[in-house]
A and B are shown apart, each in its own frame.
Chain A
Amino acid sequence: MTLRRLHVLVTGTSSDAHTWNLMYLQLALEEAGHDVTNLGPCVPDGLLTETCVRLRPDTLVISSVNGHGHTDAARAAAAVRYDPRHDAMPIIVGGLLGTAGDPNADHTPALEAAGVTAVLEKDDLPKLMRLLAEIRAAAPAAAATAAAATPAAAAGRELEGAR
């Protein structure tokens, strides 16, 4: 049995303008065999939730490095979780979540309470890859056709809904 490709939605947070993290994550995830939609920087909660409903990604990866991530990602995750259709979708958060140089794990309780599935440190890329591989292995094959129908953004610079 061949595993179907995962559709991963990569997004920045509402106040975070950094894009190199997003570009890097997209390339790394694509090279690992996933389809990626990159929502870009400064994503308002409304655009994120609307995109989740429209594209029904298998996993949401939230990346933030500007130091507001612990608040912004919690708010964004809660907004996404508000819709029961996303109950089962893993939400993985990482980057540089605070401003004090302390571990992201310090923010895990608050982020988990808001609906985040896993909080990773900035060097935890291998762990992200492992988590996605597990999600992929567990994904129901029946969803394959639905997922194949959602076109992942081409060429790595499509900002969904940006215009």
Chain B
Amino acid sequence: MTAPPGTGFAGAINNTRRDGLVVVQPRMGFAEPSAMRAGLVAVRDARATTVGTITLDSYTRVGDLHSARTAVRTRTRLNGYPLCTHPDDTTRSMLSEVYGPGFPIQVRHGSARPGHIIEAMARIGLDATEGGPVSYCLPYGRTPLRSAISEWSAACDRLAEMSTPERPAHLESFGGCMLGQMCPPSLLVAIAVLEGLFFAQHGVPSISLSYAQQTQPEQDLEALAALRRLIDELLPGLDVHVVLYTYMGVFPRTRAGSSNLLDESARIAVFGGAERLIVKTVMESVRIPDVADNVAAVERAEREVRCSQQMRAAGRPPWTPSESGLYEEARTMIDAVRSLDPDLGTALHIAFRRGLLDVPYCLHPDTQGRTRSRVAPDGRLEWAHVGSLPIDGPRPAGHAVGAQELTSMLNYVADRFDSTAAAVR
């Protein structure tokens, strides 16, 4: 990947966007600095337009730095890189001659209280991360939403302060993913846009909004179009791009099934107009992927992106986007939330308390927990109960989802790809 000197993550994505490229990125993180460095080098040198990722471990995420330190001392494996535990100089040398204008790197975590992480980034000179007051709270533990909102306000202010015109800090909303599965796309889009507005309110200069592949490509394309339209309408003139995540729920168990699901996400990225794609590997359902797994995934995704771009140039789209009123539904929720208070943080807090936003199957106590969703016979992800959301939809009395029904919905995508993969073999 190439970008002019001094432009950081934001500048690099602007260049690839101008060149019509889709940036491919892994979700990679290892505890050992040498392994982390080897992974970053391999991703940089992969046959793909890549940016690097440092995914942090769960102890660092929840602020349990004591356990992170113990793990480093006893060489216990972690599920990511302990950025706040390794001495800054260790991280600087881990990054030296890898991280630079030609190869921007994003820190991905999942922390509702990210202050220590943002400070470490500032000290080390890392300029891009991921998060959000809602999307890094509800899926990531039991931190009260109110605390997450104030912590993320401060984090956004800090990112704005760290920015220079040449090197604006970048923040990506995780709102298009939430619990990884079973959240109807209109709500994912609404939360991502609301978080984008929150970031903008705090002066974050460069923003990306996510959307995770769900159960049906036609619906995903409708969602990406809605997201793009809402960005144009509500965040005009700002540096905002769209990032697609390969499926974030229960992953296929077969290699072929996993690869086919990855391929489908690359096609959705191209036909949905995403500027960046974050991939998953064939090891997703089994363990933390190693360097080779990650390189194979970014290279495979790149090949499929190029194929899809040729298909697009030839005017042969594989799917027609659905027309289910997804934009209108998302817009209604966004408008309802924005009308609650001029300060978006306050508005988001009230919205969850009143159930105007409510993520299906979320256990977090600061949500109403009344909404339910299901996979329709045609594969669309739809509302089974809209709770107090400000939209039309089913509000049945009774019906609770059982263990069997929940498992079959959670495994819908994995089963679809595993069974067609088995048929191909």
Chain A positions within 8 Å of B, measured between CB atoms, are 14-17, 19-20, 22-24, 27-28, 31, 38, 40-43, 66-68, 71-72, 96, 98-101, 155, 157, 159, 162-163
Q: Select A159's contact among B76, B140, B365, beta carbons within 8 Å.
A: B365
Q: Nearest residue in A to B68 (C-beta to C-beta)?
A: A15
Closest 4 CB pairs of A and B: A101-B287, A42-B141, A27-B403, A15-B58
Interface residues as binary, B128-157 with A (CB distance below 8 Å gives 1, 0 otherwise): 000000000001111010000000000000
**Distance between B68 CB and nearest chain A CB, rounded to angstroms:** 9
Chain A positions within 8 Å of B67 at CB level: 14-15, 71-72
**What is the bound-complex CA distance between A66 and B71, given in angstroms?**
15
**Distance between B293 CB and nearest chain A CB, rounded to angstroms:** 11
**Distance between B163 CB and nearest chain A CB, rounded to angstroms:** 29
Contact A163 B144 (CB under 8 A): yes
Chain B positions within 8 Å of A19 at CB level: 139, 179, 361-363
**Distance between A142 CB and nearest chain B CB, rounded to angstroms:** 31
Within 8 A of A (CB), among B58-112: 58-59, 61-62, 64, 67, 71, 76-79, 110
Any A CB within 8 A of the CB of B288: yes
**Distance between B247 CB and nearest chain A CB, rounded to angstroms:** 14
Q: Nearest residue in A to B180 (C-beta to C-beta)?
A: A20
6 additional A-B pairs beyond A17-B141, A72-B67, beta carbons within 8 Å, are A17-B61, A19-B139, A27-B401, A67-B77, A98-B287, A99-B288
**Distance between B379 CB and nearest chain A CB, rounded to angstroms:** 20
**Distance between A144 CB and nearest chain B CB, rounded to angstroms:** 26
Chain B positions within 8 Å of A163 at CB level: 144, 365
Q: Select A162's contact among B77, B142, B369, B402, beta carbons within 8 Å.
A: B142
Chain A positions within 8 Å of B77 at CB level: 67, 98-100
**What is the bound-complex CA distance between A28 and B71, given in angstroms?**
34
**What is the bound-complex CA distance between A23 and B64, given in angstroms?**
25
Contact B369 A99 (CB under 8 A): no
Contact A99 B78 (CB under 8 A): yes
Contact A159 B62 (CB under 8 A): no
Contact B363 A157 (CB under 8 A): yes
**What is the bound-complex CA distance between A42 and B76, given in angstroms?**
20
Contact A159 B363 (CB under 8 A): yes
Q: Can you list 20 A-B contacts with CB-CB less than 8 angstroms, sorted by A residue number?
A: A14-B67, A15-B61, A19-B362, A20-B179, A22-B363, A24-B407, A24-B410, A27-B403, A28-B403, A40-B363, A41-B141, A41-B142, A68-B59, A68-B79, A96-B287, A99-B77, A101-B283, A157-B365, A159-B363, A159-B365
Q: Select B142's contact among A42, A68, A96, beta carbons within 8 Å.
A: A42
**What is the bound-complex CA distance between A22 and B286, given in angstroms?**
19
**What is the bound-complex CA distance between A99 and B288, given in angstroms?**
6
Contact B58 A17 (CB under 8 A): yes
Any A CB within 8 A of the CB of B124: no
Chain A positions within 8 Å of B181 at CB level: 20
Any A CB within 8 A of the CB of B406: yes
Among the interface residues A20, A28, A72, A163, which one has the most CB atoms of the partner chain B within 10 A? A20
**What is the bound-complex CA distance between A133 and B356, given in angstroms?**
42
Q: How many residues of B contact A (CB 8 A)?
A: 38
Contact A15 B62 (CB under 8 A): yes
Chain B positions within 8 Å of A27 at CB level: 401-403, 406
Are A40 and B142 CB-contacts (below 8 A) given A14-B62, A68-B58, A157-B363?
yes
Chain B positions within 8 Å of A28 at CB level: 403
Are A16 and B58 CB-contacts (below 8 A) given A24-B407, A68-B78?
yes
Are A99 and B363 CB-contacts (below 8 A) given A14-B62, A15-B61, A24-B406?
no
**What is the bound-complex CA distance between A102 and B144, given in angstroms?**
35
Contact B64 A15 (CB under 8 A): yes
**Distance between B85 CB and nearest chain A CB, rounded to angstroms:** 13
Chain B positions within 8 Å of A41 at CB level: 140-142, 363
Contact B144 A99 (CB under 8 A): no
**What is the bound-complex CA distance between A20 and B183, given in angstroms?**
13
**Distance between A95 CB and nearest chain B CB, rounded to angstroms:** 13
Contact A14 B64 (CB under 8 A): yes
Chain B positions within 8 Å of A162 at CB level: 142, 365
**Distance between A77 CB and nearest chain B CB, rounded to angstroms:** 15
Chain A positions within 8 Å of B402 at CB level: 27, 31
**What is the bound-complex CA distance between A19 and B362, given in angstroms?**
8
**What is the bound-complex CA distance between A150 and B364, given in angstroms?**
23
Are A23 and B406 CB-contacts (below 8 A) given A40-B142, A71-B67?
yes
Chain A positions within 8 Å of B180 at CB level: 20
Chain B positions within 8 Å of A72 at CB level: 67
Chain B positions within 8 Å of A71 at CB level: 67, 71, 76
Chain A positions within 8 Å of B110 at CB level: 17
**Distance between B224 CB and nearest chain A CB, rounded to angstroms:** 25
**What is the bound-complex CA distance between A142 and B364, given in angstroms?**
36
**Distance between B90 CB and nearest chain A CB, rounded to angstroms:** 21
**What is the bound-complex CA distance between A19 and B139, given in angstroms?**
8
**What is the bound-complex CA distance between A101 and B401, given in angstroms?**
30
**Distance between A123 CB and nearest chain B CB, rounded to angstroms:** 11
Within 8 A of A (CB), among B379-403: 401-403
Q: Nearest residue in B to A163 (C-beta to C-beta)?
A: B365
Among the interface residues B59, B79, B403, which one has the most CB atoms of the partner chain A within 10 A? B403
